[in-house]
Amino acid sequence: MVWLSVITIAVAALMVGNELTVAAFLHSTLYRLDDDSHASAARAFARLFGRVMPPWYTATLLLTLANLWLQWNRVPATRWLLAASGALWLISIIYTIVLPLPINNRIARWDLTTLPANWLEERRRWDRYHQLRVGLLAVALFCLILGLLKSATGC
């Protein structure tokens, strides 16, 4: 079970780190570019992350649930922390599908020669939704790590 815990933490932490990097550094840097460069880069990132993030989120949720299932009869605090983590991963997936994903899909389909009049407003809205998501993901990661540490130590 230790290898599953290590893999789960690695997958989850890398995902949260990636999302934090997007929120804190990548997208804030795009606003310093000229409009054409900003729009082009935003479209490229929307396409890339639109492909790689869904399987990554799904893998993180499934790994967390696998750990929860394997740890269910162990320390009660572990069970509740892993259940909270799993619930938060699931909520973040639903949140993503409802709020940032439709915007991301529109950005990925932009025709760079005729950007929508509200393209910058769309970008800012996506960034606000993403910042909230990063907070949710950070709490989910914290619950996951704490639950797996409690399990490993038997506390």
Confidence label for 11 from pLDDT (cuts 50, 70 and 90): very high
Number of domains in the chain: 1
Is the pTM higher than 0.85? The answer reads yes
Contact 147, 87 (CB under 8 A): no
Per-residue pLDDT, averaged over 20-36, amounts to 97
The mean pLDDT value of the chain amounts to: 96
Q: Give the per-residue pLDDT at 153.
A: 84
Query: 1 pLDDT exceeds 80?
Result: no
Confidence label for 74 from pLDDT (cuts 50, 70 and 90): confident
What range does the domain containing 114 cover?
A: 2-153
Confidence label for 98 from pLDDT (cuts 50, 70 and 90): very high
Query: 154 pLDDT exceeds 90?
Result: no
Confidence label for 76 from pLDDT (cuts 50, 70 and 90): confident
